[in-house]
Structure 1
C-alpha cells in the first residue's frame, strides 16, 4: 500500500545491530561505499543501520527531509533507482547531493507489520552508476528480510507492552530469522542449518540441487557435502567452518562442486553461529548461492592476471597480501606461499619510510591511484614502476621491473651531464684570457664532477715539449673544504720533488694519459723525493690518480691531475672519457690564451711605440693614458698627443683613425705625425691646423679617415694677472672635451655641432671655439671607446662620464684619470681608449711637484 510519513516519535533513533548487519550486507554484496537502513517521518529521516555515512551524520543518525531521497520511496511505495542524481529532476535540488555525496541511488521499500511503507533499504555511490538487475534483485531480497526484522521488533514491542511474557523470542525463532535474512540476502539460494551439538545438517532442496545431491543420497551429515567439494577446495572449506564454530563468528567461503559429468559449479557460502552459549543451544546457519556465472569472468580475469607481464599484488585494509600473480613472484624473488598472508612492511622492510610506503598510503588515504618510480635496495636492488590502486577496501599494486630502462636513462643522463660539463668548461675558460683564472675555473668544474680533487699545472709561454722546467702549479681544489689547504700545499711542494718516472713527467714527455687505477697513495709516494711532498701525499691518500696533458698546438701547455679517495674509488670509463675531452678543450683554450698574450704584447708594444710622453710646461700638469682593446687584433686607431709651440702655448690632440687592426695602427701613426708636424709651428689656431692636415692628407693620398680634436692652451699677460687661461679648439667629428671647474661643475665643450671628420672632403670648412678657464680647472680629451660600447650608446656614455667627473672633482689628476678608466670601462673592453688631461695649477706660487720637473724644448720660453 502507498506509504505515509509517520510522526517522528514512532522512529527508533539509535543504531540497531540487526539493521547494521543489513547495511553491511548491502555494502558487501553491491560493492558500494554507503548503505543505509532508513526510516522516514513527516519531519526527518533516521538511520538505525548505516555503513559509510560521513560525519556528522554517522554520529547523529538523522537528517531533515531536505537531505532525503528515501521520502520518495515511502510516498510512492516503490523502488527508486537513480543513475546520476545531479541530472534527475526529482532530486536535483536535494541537499544530500553536496552534503552526503549522493550521486547514484537505489532504494527499496521497507514495510511494517501492517504493510505500510515506513522507510527504505538503500545503496549509495559517490559517482554515476548503472544498477544491474542482479543488484536490484539482491537489494530487494535484503529489503524483505530487513522488513521482517522490523516487523519482528514491532511484535516484540507489542508483546512487551502487553506484558504477556518476558521471553517471547525463542532460539528457533532466532535461527529462522537469521536463516531467512541470509537466504533473502543472496536471492535464489539454498539454506543450511547445522546443529553444533549433534552435528546434524539440515538443508533445503535448493542446496541439494546446487551441491549435486538428492534426498535419497543425503544422510544429514556435513561429510555428504564435503564429498562433493573439489579436492583442492575441501580443506579450506572445512577450516573455515571450524573457525566459525570455534570463534562463534561468521563463515564465508567460495568453492567448487564436482558434478556427475565432471564439470564444476562455483558456490559461495555465507553463515553465522547463532544461539546461546554452549553447543547445545548453538547453530551454524547460512545460505549457499551459485556464482558460476560471475566466477567464470573472474577465472578469465585471474588467468589474465597470471599471464600479465606486469606484477600484480593485492593487500587488504591491514596491509596483508591477499594475492600475487606469477610475474609478482618472479619480480619479488619469493614464492607465492611465502607472500600471501604476510604483511607488506614485514616481508619488505625496505619499503618502510621510503617512497614505496608513501605511495601505498597515499592511494589508501585518498582513494585515488598513484604512480611512481622508486629503487628498492638489496636484496632486490632494482628499480620499479609502481601503480598503487585502491581496490576492495585495500590497495592493489601493479609494478614492473624497470632497472634496465632506468640504467639506460641514467647512462643517457650521465652522457648529457658530461656534455653539459664540457660545454661549461669551454664557456667558462673562453670567458677569460688570464691563464691562472682559467686554471682556477677548470679545477672547480672538474671537482666533484669527475674527481674528488685536482691540481692544474701550467707551463710558461716558451715551455718546450716534454720539459719539466717552466712548470708551475696554477690551481688546486678539493671537494672537502677541510682538505683544500693540504691540496694546495702538495701542489706547490710536488714539482720540486718529482722523480724522473713520476706520472706527471711521463704525461709531459709522452703527451698521453697516465693512470694509477688502485692503491695510488703508495705508488705516488715512491715517485716523490723524501720530504714534505711525501707527507702531504699520505694525508691526501688517493685511491686512484689520473694525469692528463693539456694539449696545445705544439705540445702540452700544462697538466691536469685528478684523484679519487677510497670512497669513490677507481675512475669509471665514462669518467676517463670525460676527463680526456675536458683536458683537450682546456688545452686548446689555454693555448689560445697564450697566443693572445703574445699577440697582445706585440700589439701593445707597437701601439705604445707610436705614443710619446707629454711635455711638462710651467704650472700645467699633463696626464696621458692608453688602454688597448680586449682582443688581440683590436689595436691601432686611437692616439693622444701633447706638445709645446715655440710661443709657449700648449697643444693637445686626441684622435681616432677609422678601423681596429694593425693597418689602423699604421694609419694612426701617419695621421698623428701629420697633425704633430703641422701643429708644432706657431700659426693662427686649431682650425687652421685642421685645414692644413686635410690638404697634406690629400696631397699624400693617404686614404686616412679620422676623428680628432686639436686644442691650444693660450694666455695673455692680462689673463695671467687675472688667474685665467684660454682654451681654443677645433673638433673634426670627435666626442667633445669636458671641463671640470674648481667648484666641481662639469661642462661639455660641444662648441656647436662638430665639423666633418678628417679625410672625407678636403675643402670642408673648419671652425674654432674657445673657453676661458680659471686656475685649478681640469680639461679632459678622450676617444669614443670610453663612452660608447655595444651595450651603451654615446649619449648615455657622455652623461655617465659627466656625472663621474663631478664625483671625482678635486682628485689628483693621475688618480682622476685612473678612476675614470676603471669605472667607465668593462673588464674586457671592445675598443682601445686614449685620453689626455690637463690641470691648470695657480701661477702665483711655486710650481707644484705633480706638474713635473718643467721639461720644455730649448726653443720654448721656460715660463
Structure 2
C-alpha cells in the first residue's frame, strides 16, 4: 500500500499504456452516470461514512466519474476533472492503494488542485483492474477533514473495489465474447463460400456448439471418427499435456510415421504404432486468449493433408477451441456459484444435545444452482425456560445465482427473527420472515420447514414444534423402526396476499432414539422417477443406517441421491437413545 511519502513513478509511462486505454475505451464508461457504478459509490459512502465517494476511471488526460456521491459543483455537474485535480492517477501509476490522512500536509498531493479547489483532505483509493492487470482507475473514499483510516475501513474499501473490478471485468468479458462470436460468424461465412464440404462443416459446428463440458467436447470429436476414410482417432489434448510435435500456431502433419524424416523418435513411433497409426496431425486450439490445447487426428494409413482439407481442419480447430473455452468458462462459473452457495451454509452447532448432520448435493444439471438451504442453531432460553434447538430446511424459488443469494438473505433473516423472539412459535418466526422480506423488498418465495426442539426434563424425550410452508413432509423414524411422514402443511412462504388463514404450528414428542429427516424436493420431484418410489428409497436408506448415527445416514443419502436433476439438501437429527 502506498502513502503519500512512498510514491515514485512516471505518470506518463502508465496512464498512456495502450492496453489500459483500449480497455477503458471498450468499457464505454464516461462522464455519464452508470447505475452499476453508482451503486458501488453508494456502498463506499454508506459503509465508510464519508461525504464523497467516487468510481474514478483515469483516462490519458482526465478522470471521469461514472459512479459518484457527494462531489460538490461544478465538478458534480461535469462528473470529470483534469488530471491536475486527480489523486486517483497515483493509484493507477503505482497499481497500489493510496491512503492520505491530510492532503494539506502530504508532499505528493498538497499542491494538487483537488486539495486546493475541491477541498479533498482525507483520501483512500483502491485500484480498479481488469483481468489483464491494467489499472483502470480507483474506487475512492474522500473526507473534507483529516482522517485516520482504520484497517477495517481500508479492508471494506478493498472488498468493494474487488466487487467493482469484477463488474468491470464481466463487462469486458461480455464484449470479448461478442467479438469472438463476430469472429466465428465471419469464419462461418467464409467457409460457406470456400468449402465444398459445407454440410459436413455445419454438422461439426452444430455438435460442438451444444457442448457444455470438456467431456462433451471429447465425445463430440469421437463422433466424427470415420474408419471408412481411415480416420481412427480424434483426441483433445489440453495444453499441459500436448504432444511434443504440436505447434502453437500452425497445423503439424506427419504423413508417415515410419518415414525417416517423420521427426518422431523411436518411443513416439512405437506408441503411435500400438494405436494402429500410420499418420498423425495436430491442430492447435485457440479461444479468445492463450493456447488451449490440440486436436490429434490419427489415420491408419500414410496420408498427407490435401490443400482443400486444410480449411476444413482449421474450421474444426476453431469450433473445437470455442467449445473448449466455453466449457472451461461454464465450469468456472459453476464452481464459483457452488462455492457461493456452500459458503452461505454455516456448519452445524455441536453442543445441542441432539445428533445433527446435514448435506448439500448440487444438481446434476450443469448451470443449475439453487436456493436450497439447511440450518440449525441453539436458541437461548427466553421467558419460557431453557435453551432449544431451531432447525430449518427450505428451498427458495429459482435455479440461479440470484436464488442462492436470496437464500442467504432468507436464512439469515429467519435466524434473526428467531433470535429476537426466542419464546415465539416457529409459525411466528416464518411470519416475521415474510414481513421482513416484504418490508425490504426482497423477492423471496418458496417452501420451508422450521422446527424448534426442546428437551422434556427428566424423560429423555424432546418436544418438536414445527410449521411447514408447502415443503415436502419431514420423515420420522421411531426407535422401534416405525416410520411416518409429518404431512400437515400450509401454503408456500412469500405470498402473504394469498393467505386465507394464519400459519399453524404442530407438535410431536420424539422418543429417545427417534430420527427425523428434513429434506428438499430434489429427492422426491425427480421427473423421471415416481415420487412414491423416491419416498420409499428415502425410508429404506434411513432405516438401514440410522443405528450408526446421523452422519452415517447423511453419507448414505448422499450416495443414494447424488446427481439428481435438482439440488438436494437433507438434515438429519437424532434424539440420543435412552442408554446413551
TM range (shorter): 0.5 to 0.7
Aligned equivalent of 2:321, options 570, 587, 609: 587
Residue deviations 1:145-168, cap 9 Å, x none?
xxxxxxxxxxxxxxxxxxxxxxxx
Which of 679, 682, 706 is matched with 2:446 structurally? 706
2:522 is matched with 785
* Distance in 1 separating the partners of 2:496 and 2:412: 19
Conservation of the 8 A alpha-carbon contact between 1:778 and 1:839? yes
User: Deviation digits for residues 494-544 of structure 1, max 9, x if unmatched?
Assistant: x4xx3xxx3x0x2xx21x4333334665334x355xx74465357668543
Tell me which moved more, 437-446 or 612-621.
437-446
Report what 1:446 is aligned to: 225
Of 644, 655, 658 in structure 1, the residue corresponding to residue 397 of structure 2 is: 658
Deviations 1:717-761 (A, max 9, x none): 2432xxx2222110111111111233333311112x434423433
Instruction: Say if 1:611 and 1:640, in contact at 8 Å, map to a contact too.
Output: yes
Q: How does 1:153-164 map to 2 (within 5 A)?
A: none
Q: Return closer, same or farther for 1:519/1:689 CA change in 2, 3 Å cut-off.
A: closer
**CA gap 1:514/1:620 in 2 versus in 1, 3 angstroms:** same
Residue in structure 2 matched with residue 193 of structure 1 by the alignment:
none
1:702 deviates by 2.6
Alignment counterpart, residue 406 of structure 2, candidates 622, 647, 667: 667
1:456 aligns with 2:235: yes
Distance in 2 (CA, whole Å) between partners of 1:671 and 1:638 is: 11
Q: CA deviation at 1:667?
A: 1.5
Secondary structure, aligned partner of 1:761: helix
- What is the aligned counterpart of 2:378 among 622, 631, 644? 644
One of 335, 340, 350 as aligned partner of 1:616 = 350
Q: How does 1:364-443 map to 2 (within 5 A)?
A: 418=200, 422=204, 426=208, 430=211, 433=213, 435-436=214-215, 438-439=217-218, 442-443=221-222
The answer as to whether partners of 2:221 and 2:234 remain within 8 angstroms in 1 is: no
Return the offset for 1:837. 1.3
Q: 1:812 to 1:471 in 2, by over 3 A?
A: same
- Please give the per-residue CA displacement for 1:384-435, whole angstroms capped at 9, x wherever unaligned: xxxxxxxxxxxxxxxxxxxxxxxxxxxxxx97995797489549x73x63x2
Distance verdict in 2 for CA 1:779–1:520, change over 3 Å: same
SS at match of 1:591: helix
1:815 deviates by: 3.6
C-alpha distance 422-449 of structure 1, shift in aligned 2 (>3 A): farther
Q: Residue 754 of structure 1 corresponds to which residue in structure 2? A: 490
1:665-704 equivalent positions in 2, closer than 5 A: 665-680=404-419, 681-704=421-444
771 and 579 in structure 1: CA distance in 2 versus 1, 3 angstrom threshold: farther
Q: Does the residue aligned with 2:227 lie in a helix, a strand or coil? A: coil
* Alignment equivalent of 1:472, drawn from 241, 248, 255: 241
The corresponding residue for 1:544 is: 279
Sort the Cα spacing of 1:774 and 1:534 in 2 relative to 1 into closer, same or farther, 3 A: same
Q: 356, 359, 379: which is aligned to 1:625?
A: 359
5+ unaligned residues in a row in structure 2: which ranges? Answer: 1-195, 381-385
Q: How does 1:565-580 map to 2 (within 5 A)?
A: 565-566=300-301, 569-570=303-304, 579-580=313-314
Q: What is the SS of the residue equivalent to 1:688?
A: helix
Q: Is 1:716 the counterpart of 2:464 in the alignment?
A: no
2:476 aligns to what?
Answer: 739
Counting only pairs closer than 5 Å after superposition, residues 257-336 of structure 1 correspond to structure 2 as: none
TM-align CA RMSD? 3.6
CA distance in 1, matches of 2:579, 2:276: 74
* CA distances 1:26-63 after superposition (whole Å, capped 9, x unpaired): xxxxxxxxxxxxxxxxxxxxxxxxxxxxxxxxxxxxxx
Secondary structure (helix, strand or coil) at the match of 1:727 reads strand
Which secondary structure state, in structure 2, belongs to the residue aligned with residue 717 of structure 1?
coil
For residue 496 of structure 2, give the secondary structure of its aligned residue in structure 1. coil
Q: TM-score by structure 2 length?
A: 0.57
| Secondary structure at 2:328 match in 1 | helix
CA distance in 1, matches of 2:549, 2:216: 33
Tell whether the 8 Å contact from 2:434 to 2:493 is kept in structure 1 after alignment: no
CA contact (8 A) 1:642 1:650 kept: yes
Change in 2 beyond 3 A, CA 1:798/1:844: closer
In 1, Cα distance between equivalents of 2:253 and 2:205? 25
Listed as ranges, the matches of 1:176-195 within 5 Å are none
What's 1:514 paired with? 252
Cα 1:804–1:416 shift into 2, 3 Å: farther
TM-score normalized with structure 1 length: 0.39
- Any residues of structure 2 matched to 1:35-434 within 5 Å, and which? 418=200, 422=204, 426=208, 430=211, 433=213
- Residue aligning to 1:96: none
Moved more, 568-577 or 772-781: 568-577
Which structure has the higher relative contact order (CA within 8 Å, separation 6+)?
2
CA distance in 2, matches of 1:519, 1:692: 75
Q: Secondary structure at the match of 2:414?
A: helix
Query: Does the 8 Å contact 1:711/1:729 carry over to 2?
Result: yes
3-state SS of paired residue (1:786): coil
In the TM superposition, residue 699 of structure 1 has moved relative to its aligned partner by 3.0
Partner of 1:560: 295
Cα deviations by residue, 1:436-469 (Å, 9 ceiling, x for unpaired): 574366347526365554463443xxxxxxxxxx
Question: Is 1:814–2:548 an aligned residue pair?
Answer: no
CA distance in 2, matches of 1:521, 1:813: 66
Aligned to 2:509: 772
Supply the distance in 1 between the matched residues of 2:475 and 2:259 (Cα, whole angstroms): 66
Distance 1:823 1:522, change over 3 A: farther
What is residue 560 of structure 2 aligned with on the other side? 823
What is the deviation of 1:666? 2.0
